[in-house]
Homo-oligomer: A and B are copies of this chain.
Amino acid sequence: MFVKKDPRHLYVQVIERLKKDIESGLFQEHERLPSEAKLSELLGVSRATLREALRVLEEEKVIFRKHGVGTFVTSQPMVLSGIEQLSSITTMIHNANMEPGTIVQNLSIIPLTEELTERFKTNDKKIVQIKRIRTADGEPVVYCVDHVLLECLPDGLESQLDASLFDTIERSGMTRIGQAVAEIEPISYHPEAFKALSCDTSQSLLSLSQEHFSEEGKMVLYSENYFRADKFKFHVVRRRV
């Protein structure tokens, strides 16, 4: 079953395999899995390896265990994922089976305001401001104001703004964006955004102000996104600690 051709670690393969088996219905909802001893034999791995995989699945709420009783499949497969998983707007639109597009409105190197200095925690860097309208199947859905460190961008910048800013940053600068902290706010009025998205004032927009960090923990991108609430649905999977 697990040939050595797969370079990934065994426990990762076990996680994937079990998820697939659960999703395919091989293990029914709320049903007991085989005991760890039998399951490890079944999969051809040691019980220790299997247990590491099960521990991850338990953390992800895919299964739950009762000491002395057994391991059970959580009712809701919960493949659902929301904005707690970071992805670019381009990807979000793609996942909705629509075609992402971009209208660049403004691109300029701006001086460091006090607020930006505070956010980026840097002094003598140059910041690029990008204002764009993002479209899905040609229809404007998000208004974006991005601020990014100049050093994180490649040279021929204008030609690459059609694509995801994430990709542009990651392909050029050797930095990979690892996580972001987003602040969510309803916006009852914002002239620029409303005009860009051609909304009337009876609608509300949803604003996501996001600080993006590289995997080393350096802030590389600050973006303000204004979403048309009638075009986007936002979910968050909230886990109890």
Contacts and interface: CB of A to CB of B under 8 A. Distances in A.
A181 B82 contact: yes
A219 B29 CA distance: 14
A163 interface: no
Contact of A83 (B72, B238, B240): B238
A237 B75 contact: no
Contacts of A80: 181
A110 interface: no
Copies held by the complex: 2
A178 interface: yes
A123 to B, nearest CB: 16
Interface of A: 9, 11, 29-30, 48, 51-52, 55-56, 59-61, 64, 67, 72-76, 78, 80, 82-87, 176-188, 202-206, 210, 213, 215-219, 229, 233-241
Contacts of A85: 238-241
Contacts of A183: 233-235
Given A83-B238, A179-B239, A181-B235, A186 B215 contact: no
Interface centre among A30, A56, A240 (most CB of B within 10 A): A240
Interface centre among A52, A76, A87, A216 (most CB of B within 10 A): A76
A125 to B, nearest CB: 15
Given A179-B238, A181-B238, 12 more contacts: A9-B67, A11-B55, A48-B51, A55-B56, A64-B216, A75-B215, A76-B178, A76-B213, A80-B181, A84-B238, A86-B240, A188-B204
A52 B49 CA distance: 10
Contact of A51 (B52, B60, B78, B202): B52
Contacts of A205: 186
A219 B80 CA distance: 15
A186 B229 contact: yes
B61 A59 contact: no
A211 to B, nearest CB: 9
A235 B188 CA distance: 19
A3 B195 CA distance: 63
Contacts of A204: 186-188, 204
B217 A188 contact: no
